[in-house]
Structure 1
Amino acid sequence: MESLKLGSLEVWPPVVLAPMAGITNAPFRTLCREQGGGLFVCEMITTRALVERNAKTLKMIRFGPGESPRSLQLYGVDPATVGRAVRMVAEEDLADHVDLNFGCPVPKVTRRGGGSALPYKRNLLRAILREAVRNAGTLPVTMKMRKGIDDDHLTYLDAGRIAVEEGIAAVALHGRTAVQHYGGTADWDSIARLKEAVTEIPVLGNGDIWSAEDAMRMMARTDCDGVVVGRGCLGRPWLFADLAAACAGGAEVARPTLGQVAATMDRHATLLAECFGSEQHAVADFRKHVGWYLKGFVVGADLRRRLATAETLDDLRRGLAELDPGQSWPEGADTPRGKTHPRERVHLPAGWLDDPYEIVVPDAELEVSGG
């Protein structure tokens, strides 16, 4: 298996941590990087907020000691603003790699014409990619997308060709449409079709990778050049150890005991406190991770509730101390986690589907980062 080449960057193993709002901050990336190599992307940064030097956004662009390459995902709908943001990243040395978000399916993004809605406007997509690459200097620029808005409005093959023509270093495809959100089953065959259509740059596959075995099956079935892992690593940073082993031809699989999981939970919350500078903020932020870490383990409802409502690190640690440290990794824990339900429709700007080639810059962009 070959390394993933993104411009001058060489990534081994060819594994990417997908940017996830409220998840892939510096502490979580640290836990994942310690398990195995790859490319670990920070939370989504809004280009408008970045160029306006929004204080909250600038604080989100934090990387751990020795974190390399530093990977930043940008979201934008205005070619000029995206270009200014990428130039700022390059000139101020904020990151080593820029990824562009064209895959987010949440309504507050798509109703503004952003995320997974934007590639439908082919010429707008082209303009954004052109400005990003033109302003990036030596930084590689990649993009992440979905199949399209729905099965009647597929865009990924056109978007892949446009990416090649505009100098994008790699494309990642989540094998779902926007209307599917995270429901149903990812269409890996679409990843194979994109790989057949786009031969000049790496194609990465994303969707339903819950184990290293899934990643190997995806790569074998689609011939993709690497994988992007999102929800599969929620509460499971050691998935990256499995992926590194599998990419190297090994079969080792991490199966931590509940005691080892509890130690990771403690460290995760502690790193968040150091990062945020506020223990209360950190513990509140960590609550959403509790269910993911404990998925499949036998833990009483009362203890789960107390862990998920802890207000201080001491509260959290008292609860963790009550867990059975010798309990083995549960069967069936390598299964879907996170949101799984499809949407009834995709929220779009008025008239968005009228002309796929119209260059229309949406009136407003998200003002804050993080999705």
Structure 2
Amino acid sequence: MAAGQCRNLKGVSVPSTLKIGPFAVDPPVVLAPMAGITNVAFRQLCRRYGAGLYVCEMITARALVERDPMTMHMITFDEGENPRSMQLYGVDPRNVGEATKMIVDENLADHMDMNFGCPVPKVTRKGGGAALPYKRELFRQIVRAAVRNAKDMPVTVKFRIGIDDDHLTYLDAGRIAADEGAQAVALHARTASQRYSGKADWSAIARLKEAVTSVPVLGNGDIFSAQDALDMVAQTGCDGVVVGRGCLGRPWLFRDLQAAFRGEPVPAGPTLGEVAEVLRTHAELLAAHDGEDKGLRDLRKHMAWYWHGFPVGGDTRRAFAMVSSLQQLDDLIGTLDKSVPFPEHAEGPRGRQGSAAKVVLPEGWLDDPEDATVPAGADVMHSGG
């Protein structure tokens, strides 16, 4: 991709190299695991633009232990992917321990992240995701089971501010995770009730950084540009950033982040023709992973994100959203005006936003935060969120 005109960003004191266990993460940037997004194809694409840590989709502990075929396919890693980073979800300490042991014994990954941030009802109603840190003792037992069975493999923990404004959990979660041996903690600075709406509260990241001093603290939420990442570090003192929706349709964001954290000018955004080349590469990688038919169907959800802000007409957008083959994709790309420059207003939120909502919880979940009982039917056989 041509660099074009470069952009100079406001400077910031850049964190020293982020270390997660034995792994140096330089620049201190992590791709957040996103269900249906961060498969091996998307990670390969993003890694072409910069170094960092790239985490696969959420894997359910029970599904892994049961060797669910879909789950085993989801833990595919590229030959050159190092470290191989897997996110594990579980509500039962026993299942989490068994899954972690399997990961180590069968050399399935080099780093494991733990999911305590998912806000979707099908997860929280079983006590999982962002609901779980409220149960401090159960949370502790799950992290302990992972760390003890991980041996030398580093374990990190990602969570939200809390269930809602009346039930904040992040400070306790950060302290417990560090006490139990997690190598880093990451905070998505929203409550579960916010889901992906509104603004992330970066001040909570700063408070977590003050409370947890023994391991790196990473910040997540509303990083849609390299300047956003620098601003988060400047405002919170966090040791690194976790990027989720900001890279949807913008995998070159990792190039921008690498330049920004090195104090270099950030390249201008790509032309429409260059974006089309990125999209075509994404299609090839998905086809190689899942076959052309399934891969191209999976690509459809990315189309609006790639064309976000560009003057691509409605009929053309709809045609891209129905693409079913590489040839059809090539034909559509051929109709684009490839000289169109990157629009200034193309940055900003993409992907899930929605609105705030009451969090669905198991019956009596808020009664006793020290209750370590595993909810009935909590661990499911479905990976990916």
User: What TM-score does the superposition give when structure 2 sets the normalisation length?
Assistant: 0.95
Say which SS state the counterpart of residue 346 (structure 2) adopts.
Answer: coil
* 1:221 is the counterpart of 2:250: no
Relative to structure 1, is the Cα distance of residues 65 and 343 closer, same or farther in structure 2, using a 3 angstrom cutoff?
same
Q: Tell me which residue corresponds to 2:301.
A: 288
Unaligned ranges ≥5, structure 2? 1-14
List, as ranges, runs of 4+ consecutive aligned residues in structure 1 with deviation greater than 4 Å: none
Q: Tell me which residue corresponds to 1:354.
A: 367
Aligned amino acid, residue 330 of structure 1:
P
Deviation at 1:317, TM superposition (A): 1.4
Distance (Å, rounded) in 1 between the aligned partners of 2:222 and 2:180: 29
Deviation at 1:164, TM superposition (A): 1.3
Say which SS state the counterpart of residue 263 (structure 1) adopts.
Answer: helix
Q: Among residues 100, 103, 126, which one is paired with 1:86 in the alignment?
A: 100
Deviation at 1:102, TM superposition (A): 0.1
Structure 2 matches for 1:200-349, cutoff 5 A? 200-276=214-290, 278-349=291-362
* 1:37 is the counterpart of 2:51: yes
Q: Among residues 22, 28, 46, which one is paired with 2:60 in the alignment?
A: 46
Q: Among residues 188, 197, 203, which one is paired with 2:202 in the alignment?
A: 188
Relative to structure 1, is the Cα distance of residues 55 and 237 closer, same or farther in structure 2, using a 3 angstrom cutoff?
same
Distance (Å, rounded) in 1 between the aligned partners of 2:375 and 2:331: 50
Distance (Å, rounded) in 2 between the aligned partners of 1:204 and 1:290: 30
- Answer yes or no: is the 8 Å Cα contact 1:241–1:254 preserved in 2: no
Aligned amino acid, residue 341 of structure 2:
S
- Answer yes or no: is the 8 Å Cα contact 1:257–1:329 preserved in 2: yes
Structure 2 matches for 1:101-112, cutoff 5 A? 101-112=115-126
Deviation at 1:65, TM superposition (A): 2.2
Distance (Å, rounded) in 2 between the aligned partners of 1:332 and 1:63: 35
Deviation at 1:251, TM superposition (A): 2.2
1:80-129 Cα offsets, whole Å, 9 max, x none, are: 10001011111111010000000000111101100000000000000001
Say which SS state the counterpart of residue 381 (structure 2) adopts.
Answer: coil
Deviation at 1:194, TM superposition (A): 0.2
Distance (Å, rounded) in 1 between the aligned partners of 2:340 and 2:274: 10
- Would you say how many aligned residue pairs link Structure 1 and Structure 2? 370
* 1:146 is the counterpart of 2:157: no
Deviation at 1:314, TM superposition (A): 1.2
Distance (Å, rounded) in 1 between the aligned partners of 2:95 and 2:134: 19
> What is the CA RMSD across the aligned residues, in angstroms?
0.8
1:51-87 Cα offsets, whole Å, 9 max, x none, are: 0111110010111121101100000000010001011
* 1:115 is the counterpart of 2:148: no
Distance (Å, rounded) in 2 between the aligned partners of 1:366 and 1:305: 35
Distance (Å, rounded) in 2 between the aligned partners of 1:251 and 1:188: 25
Distance (Å, rounded) in 1 between the aligned partners of 2:324 and 2:46: 25
Percent pairwise identity: 61
Q: Tell me which residue corresponds to 1:157.
A: 171
Say which SS state the counterpart of residue 63 (structure 1) adopts.
Answer: coil
Distance (Å, rounded) in 2 between the aligned partners of 1:90 and 1:190: 34
Distance (Å, rounded) in 2 between the aligned partners of 1:92 and 1:65: 16
Deviation at 1:366, TM superposition (A): 2.2
Q: Tell me which residue corresponds to 2:21.
A: 7
- Answer yes or no: is the 8 Å Cα contact 1:257–1:325 preserved in 2: yes
Deviation at 1:342, TM superposition (A): 2.5
Say which SS state the counterpart of residue 316 (structure 2) adopts.
Answer: helix
1:176-216 Cα offsets, whole Å, 9 max, x none, are: 00000000000000000000000000000000000000000
Aligned amino acid, residue 308 of structure 2:
K
Distance (Å, rounded) in 1 between the aligned partners of 2:334 and 2:244: 29
Q: Tell me which residue corresponds to 2:3.
A: none
Deviation at 1:250, TM superposition (A): 1.2
Distance (Å, rounded) in 1 between the aligned partners of 2:372 and 2:75: 30
1:148-174 Cα offsets, whole Å, 9 max, x none, are: 000000000011110111011000000
